[in-house]
Each structure stands twice: as structure tokens, then as C-alpha cells.
Amino acid sequence: MQSKARYLAGKIIELLLTLLVVSWLVFAAFSIIPGDTARVMLGPNASEAQVELLREEMGLNRPLLSRYGSWLLGLITFNPGTSYAYNVGVGELMAQRLPVTIGMSVIAMIMVILVSYPLAIISARKPGKLGDQICSVIGHILFAIPPYVASLLLILLAGSVFSLATVGNYVKPSEDFFGYVGCLLLPSFAIALPKIAMSFKFLRSSIIEQRTSDYVRTSKSHGLSDMKILIRHVLPNSNVSSITIISIILSDILGGSLIVEQVFNLPGLGRLLLSAISRRDFPLLSGIVFYLAFITVLLYFISDIAASLADPRIRLK
Amino acid sequence: MTRHIHIVKVHHLTLSFPTRKDPNPKPVLDDVDFGIRDGEILGLIGNSGSGKTMTSLAIAGLLPEAASISSGQIKFAGEDLLAMTPKQRRAMLGKDIGMIFQEPSTALDPLMTVGKHLDEVLTAHMESPVSPEDRHKKIVEMLETVGFTDADEISSRYPHQLSGGQRQRVLIAGAALLKPRLLICDEPTSSLDTVTTVSILALLKELCHKFRMTILFISHDLSAVRGFCDRVMVMRDGKIVDKDTTSDILNNPKNSFTAELLTNARLDTHILGLKPAAVDYSKSPVLKAENISAGYGKSLFDFSKRKRSAEKPDDYILHDVSLEIFPDEILGLIGGSGSGKTTLIRSILGLLSHTGTVNIKSSSIGVIFQDPVSCLNPAHTIKWHMFEALKASRKAGAIKSSLTGAARKAEDLKLITAMLEKCGLGAEHLMRRPNELSGGQRQRVAIAMCHIQEPALIIADEPFSSLDASSSAELLKLMTDINRERHTSFLLITHNIHIVRQVCPRVIVMNDGRICEEGLTSEVLNAPQSECTFALLEAERLIHG
């Protein structure tokens, strides 16, 4: 029990240190980038005095460390400044857009797991046989299609061939939850496709490896059926290594959703990010970048904890 | 339950691995015909690849999918096994036929506690539901039977928290839990040290009497069946070449192959021509290690712990170990598992941080490790491995060559081929990859890779433990030849005291990270002064007689 608590404490310290470093990097990056925010906001015709006044007002003349301190404090309280472009709090802006991006990522992840696990199990049953080969070929093709191409193809299929009307219309979850899920299904599928292939390939080789291990032979000699061996021994053991891969896939999906939002015209974080970039909206931009990094680091943290729960050997280290 | 004279009867069994390319390959089992009498312990002996394991898997119904039985019959208690469905046969395992395998370290699921492993056996064969409390009671009872005093605690442990011997006991508990009539033991002791082997064999014998079980005991070590098996069968190339009572096989072999196996197992120095070099102890030592202490478990970032362990040498595995190896000497290093032998050589090689000093009077040390399978890179040919070794020694400046370019390459290739031939391999092995060689051949490659660097000292860490008696004998001969002809010293780590007795003039006995005895082999082994040497010898005597 003590080793478990110590492991957890160590991991939390690691998480906090990583986040601190991330915040330095993000802040440093936006301090180094050339371009005067005040000048951009006021336009080329404003006088030097006006620009200087605005700088003073926005606190851009304060020393770097003090600006970093107040920015960090803002991050912790989920209020890292006000967007120049929208004149709304960054936290509030992100909270409006988050349901789209998170919802899409969650649905895509569920799709990845629901599809890749059964396929991998079927494929690993008889490696090298016809079923396995068909699965592998489909996997390779899916893997080669980038999400934005898949999006276009899916829009074409859904819109023109099957005349589904949901494409491009976003429904808020508070209004109609099923409508919300429905409008996110297609974009999620576009993101999930290559990840399904990736997860399938990984799981397949992991299951094949576990199936030939010595403890599976022991379980056979104990008289367990193949099904029981698969569920009780093979899958749990391949999950230990899959957890890390799945966390990588999940952070990939998050990145993928930023792009797919553009194609499907969904009001998610990706579009907010893009508009922040084009308008040099630094408070908004640094907030989004930091929180995305935060989510990614958090995912890895969770996957480490999950791996330690799944494998007693990790706790003991 | 009717009792038959033969619990298992194998009738003219022929088995092969046909492929599309080769529909009629050489059979792996060729007309195998034998019976296992009810209640006996039958030994099945032979070199690796002779078909012992395939025979046992055929009885258990766990043959690889590619295997095909072309003729024959297997009967278990009068029932035809080959006529049953795979499902019926699987249901017999654990209930009627129990099995134990060679490598206890990987034979248990790392994510499952001991108790859950055993519980699975019970639930898989349960006809009517049994309450978890009753199952737990049965499991604890069985764990106590196999020799655990703290059975309740053991059942909640994970496999990595157990020693090799304990894991094998857990596996025996699993196999014997439902008191099967036949227990198949496939090399159950070959990866255990001598002391543990003796206790495991004693346990199997006890269970055999207690549960009235029949045992099929598979081993490549002919001497291991002494005092354990009632009858012994000898297999060679998929055929049974000899079967007799144990005493007749061991003392009065009628078959020439059995006699050869016996010679190899006994390591008869005259017949095999094992002639180590004479050692001059007045010369200065090749390697001198003084007051070495070392331990594990310090990660790079764990500063606090490192400081503490420096103050508290209790954390150390090695305590103040000093040793000298003289030119031409084959120094034996023996001790039970966990006595610190491997930690010692890791320290000597500089692979582990340690206190104390190591002085080496040579530009290079060669090392041969225990497991020849994982020591060679599976992606590369033997030629590549040899060139790597040569390159490494050039870098270290051990071997100089004036030639350059193609001439040098041709010269190197000649050198490599000559070296392989000296080590009992040929030019035809150059382009092979490690998985196309046998275990003995792989160890030869390891020796050739060491030898090409012309080291003054080769450290061999349990080089025989994964080899059968014939390969071991050949490897040992090669080592003594190199020792005699090239004046290479060896540090030979082994749990086989018999080998030490035959080739090592001096021996060191380790226990619990300390040297508990050292001296001339004849004195140490004939008149042991310390308790741990005595325990090792006693175990040796029980097994090998």
C-alpha cells in the first residue's frame, strides 16, 4: 500500500513539474515572437503615443517575470487574461468551444476501441490466414488516409450519396444531446479511421505475442478454454502495453480534431485557435496552447496511473 | 474408476510437420511405442530436439497447430485420445492430466496472484458451484502440501514476488490441485539450482505417493533420473532407442547411444579428452579484484537512497569479495541462486557501480552468458557478429593489422572462418542467423566471438545450463582446448559441481554475497569447511549419486 501511495505522489510531482516547464515554454515562445500587440490592435495609423498608452494599459511594459506571474495565476484560476479580438475572457471563450472538441475526441476514441479490439482479436486468431490478411490490407489503406481527406470523402458520401442532413450543422448538447452526438459522428469517424488502423496493428501483434507466451501454455495445461484464456490472460497482458499506445492515440485524436473542425465547419477549439493566430490574439492563443498541452500531459499522467493499476510490477519499481 | 496396467499407451505414433512445400518431411516422432504403467515414475531422456517434448504434448493434446499425426494411437486409461474432440481433450487437462514446464519464471501470468491462478484450475473444472471460501480453503491446503508454511500469504502474492523454486512449487500445486492421474513434468528442474532441484524432486515423489499419481519425467540430464525414476526410456531422433529400469540404464547400458549419453553426463575426462592447462601460481594474476561491494536498485534520480545505502551496506548484494585469477587457470565459482555470482561478474566487468578495486592485466575480457538465445542479435548473420567482435577488439587496440581495404577484409574473413572452425563450426555457418543454429552452436559462436579478441580471460556465466549433456560436454572440451592451447584463463560460473571437479584446479564457493570458502578443488570439495559448501555437495550427491 505504501509503495502505491509513494508511486502516486512521485507521479503527481512529475506532472506538476512538467506543467510548470510547459508554461515557461509557452510564455517564452509568445514573448519572443516579434510583433507589437498594441500596434496590431490600433492599426498602422495610430500615433506612437496612443500605442504607448495602450501598452501601459495592457501591462505590456511590466517586467517579464511579473507578467509571467500574473499569467500563471490566471492559468490556475482558469482566467488567463481577456481576448483582444473578442474582448471576452479566454476561459469563457474556451468553455464555449470545448464541448465540440472534447466530444469529438471521446466519440472517436470509443470508435477506435470498439472497432480495433474485435478486429485485432479476429486477426490474431490465425495469423497469416486470409482473414488476417484482409484485415491487414484494410488497416494499411486506412492508415494512409489523412483525417482531412477522409473528412471530405465522408462529407461527399453522407451529403450526396446518402443525403444525410447533419453535415455542417452544429447542435449544442444543452439543446439536444442526441443531436449533438449525431452531428459529431461523421467528423469523429474521420479522425478515428487512421487511429483504428494504428491501434489494430499494435493490438494484433501484442495479442499474437501473448498467445505464444509460457503462461498461456500453463493455462491450457490447467484445462482453461481458449475463450477464457483470451479474456483472463491474453487481453489483460496486451492491455498493459496498449495503455501507453492508447494515450498517444488519444492525444493524436485531439490534434486531429482541430483540423477536422475546419472541414466540417464546427465551432470547436481548432477554429478558435486559427482565428487567434490570424488576429495575433496572444492571450487567447497562449491560453489555448497551454490548456491543450495540459490535457495531453494529463492524459499521459492518467495512462501511467492506469498502467500501474494494470501491472503490479510497475508499482514495485 | 477402473485401474489399468498402463495408464497411457502410445501405439506406433508417427508425427511430422508437413508444409505445402514439403508434404512428407522427416517425422519428428517416428513409430513411438510405449506404455506408462499406473503409479510409476517414468523418465524420458534424450538430447534437445530428440522429440521428448513432442511426445508429452501429443499425450496432453497441446501439439502446435502445424503438427500432424500420420499414424498411431494414444490411449489414456483405455480411452482413445485421438478420437476425442479438442474441447474434450482440453477438459481432461488439469483434471486427468497435469503438466509442469521448464521455465517457472515465465510460466505464470505476471498480472495474476498465485491464489487466482489456482482458483482458475478449480473453476475451470467445477461441475457444481463451490463457494469462494471452500475454494480458498482447498488452495491454501494445496499450497501447504507443496511446502509453503505461509500459504495464506503466498496466495495473495504476484509471481514476481516469488523465487524460481517457489514459482515451480506454485506450478506443481496448480498441476496437482485436482489430483490428476498423470503428471507430465517437462524438464521441471533444468533452470533451478542443485539445492532447489533436490527439494522439487522430493516434493514430486511425495505427491506421487500421496495422490497415487503417475509421473512422466522428461529431462536431458541422465543423472537427474537417478533415485527418482522407476524406469527410463531413451529417445534419439524421434525414436525410442532404449528402455529399461533406471538402475540397468545407468549401470549397465545395453544401447551404445545410452552409453554415450552416460559418458557425456559423467564428463569422463579421459574419454572426452578434457585436459586443462597446468597453472603456475607464482605468476602475477590476470585479474585481481579486492573488497568488492555492490548492490542494485539505485535509480539515476534517487539521490537520497544512494546516500543512505552507502552508509548502510546492508542493502548491498556483494560484501567485500576479493578474488584472483592466475594465468592458464580455470577458476570455478559455485553457489546457489541468489548467492551473488552474477552480481560479482557484473561488477568485475564494470557493468555495475561498486566499491573496491579491480585490476585486469589484459586489454580485453571475453564473456559468455547463460542464455545463448537472447545474446545474439536475431537480425544479423554469424559473419556480422564475428566482424563486430573483430572491430571491437581493433578499436581497443588488441589486434593490429597493417592491411587496408579489400585485402584486409579478405584477411579478416579468413581469420573469422579459421576461428569458427576451431570452435567446431564451419564456413557454412557464416551466413546463418542465430535462430538457424542449435543452443550448443550458439554458445560456440559466443565463444568464437570472445576468442577472436584474444582475451587473457574469458568469464563464462552458467554457459551449460540451457544445453543438453552432449552439447555441454562438447562445449567444455572446447573451453579446455582453448585454455590449454591459447593460455586463456577462465572464470567458470556454474551450479554443476561435477564440471568444476573435472576441470577447475581451484574453486570459490559463494553464499549470500560473500565468499564462504575457497581453495584447491580437491580440498574444498572433499573436505568442505563451511556449511554452504556442505549443503551444495549434499544436494549434488542426492541427485547425481
Residue of B nearest to A309 (CA): B111
Residue A3 contacts B, CB cutoff 8 Å: no
Q: Which residues contact B371 (CB under 8 A, 6 or more apart)?
A: B466
Residue B95 contacts A, CB cutoff 8 Å: yes
**Mean pLDDT estimate for chain B:** 85
Q: How far is CA A48 from CA A45, A61, A62, in A?
A: 9, 14, 18
Calculate mean pLDDT across residues B441-447. Answer: 86
How many Å lie between the alpha carbon of B361 and the closest alpha carbon of chain A?
A: 38
Residue B63 contacts A, CB cutoff 8 Å: no
* B325 DSSP β-pair partners: B287
Q: Which residues contact A272 (CB under 8 A, 6 or more apart)?
A: A93, A94, A97, A284, A288
Provide the pLDDT for residue A53.
83
Q: Which residues contact A240 (CB under 8 A, 6 or more apart)?
A: A307, A310, A311, B111
Chain B residues whose CB is inside 8 A of the A313 CB are 110, 158, 160
Residue B175 contacts A, CB cutoff 8 Å: yes
Rounded to whole angstroms, the Cα distance separating B440 from B474 reads: 8
Residue of B nearest to A313 (CA): B160
Asked if B499 and B340 count as a contact pair (C-beta separation under 8 A), the reply is no
How many Å lie between the alpha carbon of A134 and the closest alpha carbon of chain B?
A: 21
Partner residue facing A222 (CB), from B110, B111, B124: B124
Is A218 close to B107, i.e. CB distance below 8 A?
A: yes
Partner residue facing B120 (CB), from A214, A222, A236: A222
Rounded to whole angstroms, the Cα distance separating B200 from B40 reads: 17
Is B90 close to A233, i.e. CB distance below 8 A?
A: no
Is B94 close to A214, i.e. CB distance below 8 A?
A: no
**Mean pLDDT estimate for chain A:** 85
B270 burial type by CB count under 10 A (0-12 exposed, 13-18 middle, 19+ buried): exposed
Is B112 close to A233, i.e. CB distance below 8 A?
A: yes
Answer whether residue A48 shows pLDDT above 90. Answer: no
Rounded to whole angstroms, the Cα distance separating B248 from B243 reads: 9
Residue of B nearest to A212 (CA): B64
What does residue B21 show for φ and ψ, rounded to 5 degrees?
-70, -40
CATH topology of domain B1-91+218-266: Rossmann fold (3.40.50)
**From A80-94, B195-209, B505-519, the region with the lowest mean pLDDT:** A80-94
Partner residue facing A237 (CB), from B87, B95, B109: B109
Residue B107 contacts A, CB cutoff 8 Å: yes
Residue of B nearest to A312 (CA): B111
Q: Which residues contact B363 (CB under 8 A, 6 or more apart)?
A: B396, B397, B398, B455
Residue B57 contacts A, CB cutoff 8 Å: no
pLDDT, tens only, B126-166: 888 888 899 999 999 999 999 888 888 889 999 988 888 88
Question: Does B221 or B232 have the greater pLDDT score?
Answer: B232
Provide the pLDDT for residue B311.
44
Rounded to whole angstroms, the Cα distance separating B100 from A222 reads: 10
How many Å lie between the alpha carbon of A132 and the closest alpha carbon of chain B?
A: 17
* A138 DSSP β-pair partners: none
Residue B120 contacts A, CB cutoff 8 Å: yes
The full set of domains in chain A, from first to last, is 98-279 (1.10.3720.10)
Is A223 close to B124, i.e. CB distance below 8 A?
A: yes
Provide the pLDDT for residue B336.
79
Is A223 close to B160, i.e. CB distance below 8 A?
A: no
Question: Does A37 or A77 have the greater pLDDT score?
Answer: A77
Residue A316 contacts B, CB cutoff 8 Å: yes
Is A219 close to B109, i.e. CB distance below 8 A?
A: yes
Rounded to whole angstroms, the Cα distance separating B431 from B442 reads: 14
Chain A residues whose CB is inside 8 A of the B54 CB are none
- pLDDT band for position B312 (cuts 50, 70, 90): very low
Q: Alpha helix locations (H) across B5-76?
A: 52-60
pLDDT, tens only, B173-193: 999 999 999 999 998 887 777
Answer whether residue A312 shows pLDDT above 60. Answer: yes
In order, the DSSP letters of chain A are -HHHHHHHHHHHHHHHHHHHHHHHHHHHHHHHS---HHHHHH-TTS-HHHHHHHHHHHTTTS-HHHHHHHHHHHHHTT---B-TTT-SBHHHHHHHHHHHHHHHHHHHHHHHHHHHHHHHHHHHHSTTSHHHHHHHHHHHHHHHS-HHHHHHHHHHIIIIIS--S-TT----TTT-HHHHHHHHHHHHHHHHHHHHHHHHHHHHHHHHHHHTSHHHHHHHHTT--HHHHIIIIIHHHHHHHHHHHHHHHHHHHHHHHHHHHHHHT--SHHHHHHHHHHTT-HHHHHHHHHHHHHHHHHHHHHHHHHHHHH-HHHHH-
Interchain CB contacts (distance < 8 Å): A and B: 81
pLDDT, tens only, B87-122: 999 999 989 999 998 888 889 999 999 999 999 999
**From B59-68, B287-296, B381-390, the region with the lowest mean pLDDT:** B287-296
Task: Give me the interface pTM, i.e. the ipTM.
Answer: 0.77
Q: Which three cell numbers stand for residue B527?
A: 573436505
Question: Which of the given ranges, B354-363, B368-377, B520-529, has the highest pLDDT on average?
Answer: B520-529
Provide the pLDDT for residue B307.
45
* CATH number for the domain whose boundaries are B279-299+315-362+456-545: 3.40.50.300
* B32 DSSP β-pair partners: B13
Residue A220 contacts B, CB cutoff 8 Å: yes
Selected residue of A218, A226, A313 to mutate for chain B interface (largest B Cβ count, 10 A): A218
Answer whether residue B18 shows pLDDT above 70. Answer: yes
Partner residue facing B107 (CB), from A215, A223, A240: A215
The residue behind cell 543438453 is B468
How many Å lie between the alpha carbon of B432 and the closest alpha carbon of chain A?
A: 24
The residue behind cell 481527406 is A149
Residue of B nearest to A214 (CA): B107
Partner residue facing B93 (CB), from A220, A232, A310: A220
Q: How far is CA B28 from CA B11, B19, B49, in A?
A: 15, 13, 9
Is B94 close to A221, i.e. CB distance below 8 A?
A: yes
For chain B, give me the number of helices (H) and strands (E)? 20, 19
Residue B447 contacts A, CB cutoff 8 Å: no
Q: How far is CA B314 from CA A184, B309, B310, B357, B513, in A?
A: 61, 7, 9, 20, 11
Answer whether residue B65 shows pLDDT above 90. Answer: no
Residue B174 contacts A, CB cutoff 8 Å: yes
Provide the pLDDT for residue A204.
92
How many Å lie between the alpha carbon of B327 and the closest alpha carbon of chain A?
A: 42
Selected residue of B59, B109, B305 to mutate for chain A interface (largest A Cβ count, 10 A): B109
Is A218 close to B95, i.e. CB distance below 8 A?
A: no
pLDDT, tens only, B250-285: 888 888 888 888 888 777 777 777 788 888 888 888
Q: Pairing state of beta strands B489-493 and B330-334?
A: parallel
Provide the pLDDT for residue B89.
92
Asked if A284 and A224 count as a contact pair (C-beta separation under 8 A), the reply is no
Coil, helix or strand at residue B352: coil
Answer whether residue B309 shows pLDDT above 50. Answer: no
- pLDDT band for position A115 (cuts 50, 70, 90): very high
Provide the pLDDT for residue B301.
46
Chain A residues whose CB is inside 8 A of the B91 CB are 223
How many Å lie between the alpha carbon of B175 and the closest alpha carbon of chain A?
A: 7
The residue behind cell 554452504 is B532
Q: Which residues contact B131 (CB under 8 A, 6 or more apart)?
A: none
Asked if B463 and B404 count as a contact pair (C-beta separation under 8 A), the reply is no
Provide the pLDDT for residue B302.
46
Calculate mean pLDDT across residues B408-415. Answer: 86
Answer whether residue B532 shows pLDDT above 70. Answer: yes
How many Å lie between the alpha carbon of A29 and the closest alpha carbon of chain B?
A: 29
Q: Which three cell numbers stand for residue B235?
A: 529417445
Rounded to whole angstroms, the Cα distance separating B234 from B248 reads: 12
Dihedral, CA of residue B92, residue B93, residue B94 and residue B97, to nearest 10: 90
Chain A residues whose CB is inside 8 A of the B101 CB are 214, 217-218, 221
Chain B residues whose CB is inside 8 A of the A236 CB are 109, 111
Answer whether residue A109 shows pLDDT above 90. Answer: yes
Answer whether residue B306 shows pLDDT above 50. Answer: no
Chain B residues whose CB is inside 8 A of the A219 CB are 109, 120
How many Å lie between the alpha carbon of A149 and the closest alpha carbon of chain B?
A: 38
Rounded to whole angstroms, the Cα distance separating B181 from B174 reads: 14
Selected residue of B111, B178, B179 to mutate for chain A interface (largest A Cβ count, 10 A): B111
Residue B413 contacts A, CB cutoff 8 Å: no
Give me Rg for the CA atoms of chain B.
25
Q: Where exactly are the structural domains of chain B?
A: 1-91+218-266, 279-299+315-362+456-545, 380-398+405-454
- Please identify among residues 291-320 of chain B the ones whose CB lies closer than 8 Å to any CB of chain A: none
Residue A236 contacts B, CB cutoff 8 Å: yes
Provide the pLDDT for residue B492.
92
Answer whether residue B58 shows pLDDT above 90. Answer: yes
Residue A210 contacts B, CB cutoff 8 Å: no
Closest-CA residue to B335 (of B309, B317, B312): B317
Residue A314 contacts B, CB cutoff 8 Å: no
Chain B residues whose CB is inside 8 A of the A233 CB are 109, 111-112
Chain B residues whose CB is inside 8 A of the A225 CB are 87, 90, 124
Q: Which three cell numbers stand for residue B165?
A: 523454486
Q: What percent of chain B has pLDDT over 90?
A: 27
Provide the pLDDT for residue B363.
66
